Amino acid sequence: MDILTDYANWKFDNYTLIDTLLKNGSAIIRRFPHVIAVCDFFYNEVTNNHYKMSKDEEIIFQSGFNYLHDHFNTIDLILKHDFNSKMDEMEKCSKTINLLLYINDFQAELENVAPNNIAQKKTLDDLEQRTMQYIDTHTNAPDTMFQLLSDVTSEMFKDGYQGINEIMYEVAEELGITPDEPDDDIYEI
């Protein structure tokens, strides 16, 4: 199977989750519109217009797809494990779920830039565990957790940090496909 087929299968398998998050106006889905728009753009160009992606475009597509796959896997696990598939209950903790996903973003970045920094990994792992405790009890983390993450990551990434969301926003702008708000059109293949 190639990556485009994997992406189409992933979207098909996650259609119900994505659609429900959209229809409910979930705060969780708001972190993904540019990533999905960019992946959909390349998918549609290749499958509909026989476009040949450059190596850089393949890397962009693969990175975006991996990001979506990993985060939606986390969201789905939380929905099923912690909230017994009750979307409305999960949405009440969307702020904390987004915090967890941001922590996961920083963990992935740290693995890329400083894979041997055990102390920094532990700090992020501890924040992840604390955040999961809030999710496990169906409560939102206090704003101090967000500030703590900001303080910790500012120290870790002194030279700056640009996550997949920001990169995909820039790519979407370059392609002229920046969605203002998530809507059904950008989630369909």
Per-residue pLDDT tens over the stretch 15-72: 999 999 988 889 999 889 999 999 999 999 999 999 999 999 999 999 999 999 999 9
Q: Which has the closest alpha carbon to 8: 30, 33, 39, 34? A: 39
In 10 A of CB 137, how many CB atoms?
Answer: 10
Total tally of structural domains belonging to the chain: 1
Q: Which has the closest alpha carbon to 78: 104, 54, 57, 60? A: 104
- Per-residue burial over 49-62, b if 16 or more Cβ lie within 10 Å, else e, is eeeebeeebeebbb
CA-CA distance, 143 to 140, in Å (whole number)?
9
CA-CA distance, 42 to 57, in Å (whole number)?
8
User: CB of 22 within 8 A of CB of 184?
Assistant: yes
Q: Which has the closest alpha carbon to 187: 58, 15, 27, 51? A: 15
Mean pLDDT, range 126-137, rounded to an integer = 97
For residue 1, pLDDT beyond 70: no
- The pLDDT tens digits for 75-120 are 999 999 999 999 999 999 999 999 999 999 999 999 988 888 899 9
| pLDDT at residue 130, rounded to an integer | 97
For residue 188, pLDDT beyond 60: no
Those residues whose C-beta lies under 8 Å from the C-beta of residue 79, and which sit 6 or more positions away, are 17, 85, 86, 87, 90
For residue 33, what are the domain limits?
3-187
Q: Which has the closest alpha carbon to 108: 131, 93, 125? A: 125
Q: Place 180 in a pLDDT band, splitting at 50, 70 and 90.
A: low
Which tokens belong to 72? 């939606």
